[in-house]
Amino acid sequence: MDIRLIPTANPKEKPKDENNLSFGKVFTDYMFMVEYTEGIGWHDARIQPYGPLSIDPASPVLHYSQEIFEGLKAYRRADGGLQMFRPLENAKRMNDSADRMCMPPLDPEFQVEAMCRLVKLEQDWVPHQPGTSLYLRPTMIADGAELGVHPAHHFLYFIICSPSGSYYKNGMAPVKIHIEDRYVRAVKGGTGAAKTGGNYSASLKAAFEAEKQGYDQVLWLDGRENKYVEEVGAMNMVFVLDGKLVTAPTGGSILPGITRKSVLQLAQDMGIAVEERPIAVEELFQAHQDGRLTEAFGTGTAAVISPVGLLEYHGRTMELAEGKIGPIAQKLYDTLVGIQRGDLPDPYGWVLPLT
């Protein structure tokens, strides 16, 4: 499929201060767009000026949350060139989410081609400072006028881009996490493994209440027994237990993170044992008491690795790594960020150079 370019008449001014970029507030000049019509398939791929969408108020996305998305970054190397990190994995996961939400798949190679074309066109928007990047948000929605609750007949897939600042502007401050057992994020058989909008709106209330109590994030438990730790808002959780990396299995209720997968691979290759298994909250408290739980961190595209300084459950707390980033988290962070930004060699073929 050809991708046509509709030029913009009004290029925007780029952010002047790269040290003060926030997340997801400024968008570039262009967006990618392609449409799906039942009986025809995907058609009309184009890169067009960034701007509001006009969709029918009866669109299924507005009533039944038929929506999926992805999140990934383009990085500027020290030599000024650009590269992306495992974009094909995001494209494939988009299709897995599409399948769960009765939406049509889009050829993963074509998705990556669209990302590359868009980033190359917008290359002057990719910031230079360490820790900064151009964030890409591929999204698919069901539009078209149809209030019946059944799979839709028309869809839009689009990609928008936002220059984003360093996640760790003030150094790598460990986060405080509340372990949640009143609200549930996902259960087996639900939509927890799909990156779909409804999961996030359903989790806002717990996050908001935890924030009022002074916590940065919520750690969700399994929805069936309220006993096993699953994941954080937009990050998978990894614990260092007896010197091994232990993380919840991707059994349908957690999002299979690409950062998670990459971190587990790096750890194994560093000679650190990895276990994917259910982890009970009580096991964590016991291990902490015995001095066997030494670190915990979240993994996700935004922060790469986010160290946890404190975990709270029913008023009981565990402090970890003396409120600092632990040595294993630091080593994994340095290695992964080094590969992503092209400062370290990439023996895995994870990086896709664009220029």
Ligand X SMILES: *Cc1c(COP(=O)(O)O)cnc(C)c1O
122 three-class SS: coil
Distance of alpha carbon 322 from the chain centroid: 28
Of the candidate residues 236, 253, 294, 340, the single one contacting ligand X (CB under 6 A):
236
Among the candidate windows 43-51, 168-176, 258-266, 343-351, which touches ligand X by CB under 6 A?
A: 258-266
Answer yes or no whether residue 260 interacts with ligand X by CB under 6 A.
yes
One-letter amino acid at 285 equals F
Minimum CB–partner distance for residue 338 and ligand X (Å): 17
Among the candidate windows 137-145, 155-163, 252-260, 334-342, which touches ligand X by CB under 6 A?
A: 252-260
Among the candidate windows 21-29, 254-262, 272-280, 331-339, which touches ligand X by CB under 6 A?
A: 254-262
How many amino acids of this chain bind ligand X (CB under 6 A)?
14
Of the candidate residues 34, 94, 255, 264, the single one contacting ligand X (CB under 6 A):
255
Of the candidate residues 133, 259, 294, 340, the single one contacting ligand X (CB under 6 A):
259
By the 10 Å C-beta count (0-12 exposed, 13-18 middle, 19+ buried), 17 is classed as exposed
Q: Which neighbouring-strand residues pair with 111? A: none
Helix, strand, coil: what percent of the chain each, to 5?
A: 25, 30, 45
Distance of alpha carbon 347 from the chain centroid: 23
Structural contact between residues 42 and 34, judged by C-beta atoms closer than 8 angstroms: yes
Alpha-carbon separation of residue 281 from 104, 217, 237, 316 (angstroms) = 38, 16, 13, 11
Minimum CB–partner distance for residue 305 and ligand X (Å): 10
With tokens 């790469």, the residue in question is 304
Whose Cβ is closer to ligand X: residue 137's or residue 153's?
Answer: 137
Residue partners of 96: CB distance under 8 A and separation at least 6: 193, 194
Q: What single-letter DSSP state applies at residue 312? A: E
Q: Which of residues 169-198 bind ligand X (CB under 6 A)?
A: 195
Minimum CB–partner distance for residue 57 and ligand X (Å): 28
Structural contact between residues 179 and 311, judged by C-beta atoms closer than 8 angstroms: yes
Query: Pick from 112, 109, 118: which is nearest to 31 by CA?
Result: 118
Answer yes or no whether residue 133 interacts with ligand X by CB under 6 A.
no
Whose Cβ is closer to ligand X: residue 127's or residue 257's?
Answer: 257
Answer yes or no whether residue 300 interacts with ligand X by CB under 6 A.
yes
Alpha-carbon separation of residue 174 from 128, 139, 240, 244, 322 (angstroms) = 25, 30, 15, 20, 10
A 10 A CB-CB count for 79 gives 7
Answer yes or no whether residue 94 interacts with ligand X by CB under 6 A.
no
Minimum CB–partner distance for residue 192 and ligand X (Å): 8
Among the candidate windows 9-17, 127-135, 229-237, 277-285, which touches ligand X by CB under 6 A?
A: 229-237
Of the candidate residues 231, 248, 284, 297, the single one contacting ligand X (CB under 6 A):
231
Among the candidate windows 6-14, 253-261, 287-295, 343-351, which touches ligand X by CB under 6 A?
A: 253-261
Question: Any idea of the CA torsion for 72, 27, 120, 115, to the nearest 10 degrees?
Answer: 40
- The phi, psi pair for 330, rounded to 5°, reads -65, -45
Whose Cβ is closer to ligand X: residue 59's or residue 299's?
Answer: 299
Of the candidate residues 28, 253, 301, 340, the single one contacting ligand X (CB under 6 A):
301
Whose Cβ is closer to ligand X: residue 127's or residue 192's?
Answer: 192
With tokens 């991707």, the residue in question is 250
Whose Cβ is closer to ligand X: residue 117's or residue 195's?
Answer: 195
Answer yes or no whether residue 71 interacts with ligand X by CB under 6 A.
yes
Minimum CB–partner distance for residue 306 and ligand X (Å): 11
Answer yes or no whether residue 103 interacts with ligand X by CB under 6 A.
no
Minimum CB–partner distance for residue 235 and ligand X (Å): 5
List of residues contacting ligand X (CB under 6 A): 71, 195, 231, 234-236, 255, 257-260, 299-301
